[in-house]
Structure 1
Amino acid sequence: MIIEQRFTISYHYNVHFIADVFSIHNTTFSDILSNHSGSGFSPSLLFVIDSNVGIRHPQLQPAIKNYLDKRVPGQLNAYFLVIPGGEKAKENDNAYQAILRAINQYHIDRHSFIIAIGGGAVCDVTGFAATVAHRGIKLIRIPTTTLAQNDAAIGVKNGINAFDKKNFLGTFATPVAVINDGTFLKTLSQRTWISGISEAIKVALIKDARFFERIEQLAPALGERDEAAMQETIIECAKLHLQHIANGDPFEAGSSRPLDFGHWSAHKLERMSDYKLLHGEAVAIGMALDCTYAHMMGYLGTDARDRILELLLQLNLPIAHPLLERTEELLRGLHEFSAHLGGILTIPLLTSIGHARNVTFIDEQVMQQAAKRLIAISQSTSLV
């Protein structure tokens, strides 16, 4: 006997692009709370704040309290938890457990909201905790870095690292909303400002040659911290990411992961550097490595490879690192990436700017040569 069960769930959330989310004149946050609160319930709010954001925005918590007093009057409990920012937030379960303890201590239930304010790692770990507590608490993400606004915080994935592997523990869960507030980007260091652009370059390379050309045009302005140029880049990048999630394989049932272009080595390089390399910097190196390999294998033309490397260099993104010399350790990243994909290695490689093909085999000797070639290029002024 077989009883078939079948049902469909519709997912929906908005990504907002605004400034000054907690200005009392801005209704975005209060509208989200109102639209997603159950009738008759007075939700509690747990704000999980990246320590780096707290340092650069010391008035953030008072501003939130004032906003809630003015725009969300009534019986509303708001609590705050500050956790370390950066990839170290995901490296062990300290931050994750701290969030779970706060959820328990403050009686955050399924009618409540957890609001992650920070970089991609803080959004990841907060989302993971919000998903597993009570089988799911409503999550609002307010990403505060160029990388998180471009990529890390706008999708459906949450996770932390474990067993010496990136994102070994994780969930797929949609947020209630994502709020990209450009005001937070103003206080980023130049290094962090630039590193997030690598995710925009990534999605342009695999999906949209015109967007890549536009980033080339905007590169001088981006390097000079032009806010309009960055906002344009983030919006287009987010649009392409969201289109892929909706029209592709949102919960990654298959092994094809075009949005992970350049990431097999990026994840390994991050760990090898003890996270001294920022994620965006590691992705830039990973893309440069895969493009050099694709060129050596005859998939990608010389002109395209040169344009890609020149753009990365123009933006002061790294294309190489001394860690590339540890090729045996680096190439273990291929096997770890294969396990993460479900046991079948599937690597997207460019055939031209805006187009990629999946390969299921990497010639490790050629990849070693590509790594050496990149190191040589980074030490010279010639791409020949």
Structure 2
Amino acid sequence: MIDTQTVNVESAGLGRSSRRDRTITQVVPVTFTYPVHFTEHLFDPQQTLLRDILTGPEASGGQPPRVLCVVDDGVLAAFPGLEGQIQAYFAAQLDLTLVAPPLTVPGGERCKSDPDVVGRIHEAINAHGIDRHAYVIAVGGGAVLDMVGYAAATAHRGVRLVRVPTTVLSQNDSAVGVKNSVNAFGKKNWLGTFAPPHAVLNDRSFLTTLEDRDWLGGLSEALKVALLKDAAFFEWLEANAVALAARDQEAMDHAVYRCAELHLEHIARSGDPFERGSSRPLDFGHWAAHKLESLSNYELRHGEAVAVGIALDCTYAALSGLLPEADWRRILDVLRTLKLAVSVPELGSGTQDATNPTSVLSGLNEFREHLGGRLTIPLLTGIGQPVEVHEMDHDILRRAIALLEDVQAQASSLPLSSPHTQGVL
């Protein structure tokens, strides 16, 4: 084939120098398909969903699929019998092989900040012969799923991952996407991969024991995607905020499902599922959230940080004249009805100098670096009406921070004409 190509070039009258400047353009179309199931009591021996997923058409013939299960220690604390239940489930399935008792890992951001935890999973994958036709099942919150996903994606250039998210935030957002990551260099998600899961299994029964802060914190991602993409969903959240705060399970089921649906639609239809561009529209409120998590040494949970980040960006948009005051009030009222803080001590920490790493404003440049291009921040011109900006005025951000501190300190929201905003509107 190469010789024929060379003859064709020379017969066209092109000289030898052109032969050194040839180009082959390769196009590799790839389609990823994975199901996101909503169920309950996943590890009940009578529940066939997990078995059906693991023994489906992609299972290797001849031998029962080999499975390594990794479980968040926080989930085990909330469900003391879960480890035995998982082993009993696989013992009852003759067409599956659990290669070892479930591997327990620390939950929360600590698992993403300790390279030894990823190393333990790599060691287990190696020791138990988990190959590309076997499975790693991750059971836990978003941080554990991120970390286990990173380990699975980097073993054998990628082994099959089944995610079993156990928090509101992971069921409605992080687990249904294609990203995996760990923290490094003091920065969130600095190491990571884009690797779609084999399947996502949302078991509503895991939500029943969540602390209130985890039950409510995950709703910040539902609010985020509603504000960006679905004004009707925002109105539903607004109308059902009291029920959600009171832990109404049916209301939460709808919130989780619709939030996951909107995230999946964006991944499939945005044209940039692996974020090769300089924009991440679904990271509304996240530039500040990631920095706040770091400044709190990850004591602040992701959903809580996102709530503050949403409040900050909405307040900034209102002070800048982008977002109507009435919409700003509605958004902050929903956040507070959901018992989510709009300000935390880390928001006002440091000198508020963007070059100072202890200031939340330094998160803008870290966010730009993470995107790999120019700064792109999604803001709102109305509910369900996003707009992208490429710079943010630091003075207005400082006013927004001061205003949110006042709002958090008082029982009722302050008007935008407070002393911190004079001369802006």
Residue 370 (structure 2) aligns with = 340
- Residues 316-327 of structure 1 mapped to structure 2, 5 A cutoff: 316-326=339-349, 327=352
Q: 1:23 to 1:306 in 2, by over 3 A?
A: same
Q: Which residue does the alignment assign to 1:3? A: 24
Superposition pairs of residues 43-54 of structure 1, within 5 angstroms: 43-54=65-76
Post-superposition CA distance 1:164-210 (Å, at most 9, x none)? 11101000001010000000000111111111010000000000000
User: Is structure 2 residue 52 aligned with structure 1 residue 31?
Assistant: yes
Question: Which of 289, 305, 309 matches 1:282?
Answer: 305
SS at match of 1:82: strand
Question: What do residues 46-73 of structure 1 show as CA deviations (whole Å, max 9, x unaligned)?
Answer: 1110000011111112111221222344
Q: For residues 250 and 59 of structure 1, what CA distance do their matches in structure 2 show? A: 38
How far is 1:142 from its partner? 0.1
Secondary structure of the structure 1 residue equivalent to 2:173: helix
- 8 A contact 1:79–1:106 mirrored in 2: no
Q: Which residue is 1:81 aligned to?
A: 103
- Are 2:91 and 1:61 equivalent residues in the alignment? no
> Within 5 A, what are the aligned runs for 1:201-240?
201-240=223-262
Equivalent-residue separation in structure 1 for 2:365 and 2:346 (angstroms): 18
Deviations 1:189-232, CA, capped at 9 Å, x for gaps: 11111110100000000000000000111111111111111010
1:260 lines up with 2:283 in the alignment: yes
Q: What residue is the counterpart of 2:36 in the other structure?
A: 15
> Which residue does the alignment assign to 1:374?
404
1:134 counterpart SS class: coil
1:352 to 2:382 alignment: yes
Q: CA deviation at 1:258?
A: 1.0
User: CA shift at 1:75, angstroms?
Assistant: 5.5
Structure 1 partner of 2:418: none
* 4+ runs deviating over 6 angstroms: none
State the SS of the aligned residue for 1:362: coil
| Counterparts of 2:332 and 2:202, CA distance in 1 | 29
Q: Which moved more, 1:32-41 or 1:169-178?
A: 32-41
CA distance in 1, matches of 2:344, 2:157: 42
Q: Using the alignment, how far apart are the partners of 1:350 and 1:262 within structure 2?
A: 11
Q: Which residue of 2 aligns with 1:185?
A: 207
SS at match of 1:7: coil
Determine if contact 2:318/2:328 at 8 Å carries over to the other structure: yes
Shift of 1:41: 3.6
Answering whether residue 328 of structure 2 is matched by residue 305 of structure 1, we say yes
> Which is worse superposed, 357-366 or 97-106?
97-106
Matched residues, percent identical?
Answer: 49
Q: 2-side partners of 1:216 and 1:71: how far apart?
A: 45
State the match for 1:154 in structure 2. 176
What's the CA shift for 1:236?
0.2
Provide the secondary structure at the position in 2 that maps to 1:94: helix
CA contact (8 A) 1:45 1:79 kept: no
Contact kept? 1:185, 1:193, Cα under 8 Å: yes
Q: Is 1:315 matched up with 2:338?
A: yes
In the alignment, is the contact (CA less than 8 A) between 2:87 and 2:101 conserved in 1? no
**Aligned-partner SS, 2:391:** coil
Counterpart AA for 2:138: A
Whole-Å separation in 2 of the counterparts to 1:32 and 1:227: 26
8 Å CA contact 1:50, 1:84 repeated in 2: yes
Between 104-113 and 211-220, the greater mean CA deviation after superposition: 104-113
Superposed, 1:46-195 pairs within 5 Å as: 46-73=68-95, 77-195=99-217
For residues 58 and 105 of structure 1, do their structure 2 counterparts lie closer, same or farther at Cα, with a shift above 3 Å needed?
Answer: same
2:173–2:259 contact (8 Å) kept in structure 1: yes
* Contact 2:107-2:143 within 8 A present in 1 as well: yes
Whole-angstrom CA distance in 2 between matches of 1:65 and 1:109: 21
Deviation at 1:74, TM superposition (A): 6.0
> 1:23·1:67 contact (CA, 8 Å) conserved in 2?
yes
CA 1:250/1:296 → structure 2, altered by over 3 Å: closer, same or farther? Answer: same
For residues 27 and 149 of structure 2, the distance between their equivalents in structure 1, rounded to whole angstroms, comes to 27
Q: 1:333 to 1:89 in 2, by over 3 A?
A: same
Q: Which amino acid aligns with 1:295?
A: A
Q: Could you tell me which amino acid in structure 2 is paired with residue 16 of structure 1? A: H
- The question of whether the paired residues in 1 share the 8 Å contact of 2:329 and 2:413 is answered with no
Q: Given residue 279 of structure 2, which amino acid in structure 1 is its aligned partner?
A: S
Could you say what secondary structure the match of 2:65 adopts?
A: coil
Q: Is the 8 A contact 2:90 2:97 kept in 1?
A: no
How many residues end up aligned between the 2 structures?
A: 384
Structure 1: 5+ residue stretches without partners: none
Conserved in 1, the CA contact under 8 Å of 2:133 and 2:159?
A: yes
Residue 281 and residue 108 in structure 1: after superposition, are their counterparts in 2 closer, same or farther (change >3 A)? same
1:383 aligns with 2:406: no
Q: Which runs of 5+ in 2 are unaligned?
A: 1-21, 354-358, 416-425
> Distance between the aligned counterparts of 1:75 and 1:167, measured in 2?
33
Which is further off, 207-216 or 322-331? 322-331
Rounded to whole Å, the distance in 2 between the matches of 1:64 and 1:16 is: 19
Post-superposition offset of 1:76: 5.3
Higher relative contact order (CA 8 A, sep 6+): 1
TM-score w.r.t. structure 2 length?
Answer: 0.88
> 1:153 is paired with a residue of what secondary structure?
helix
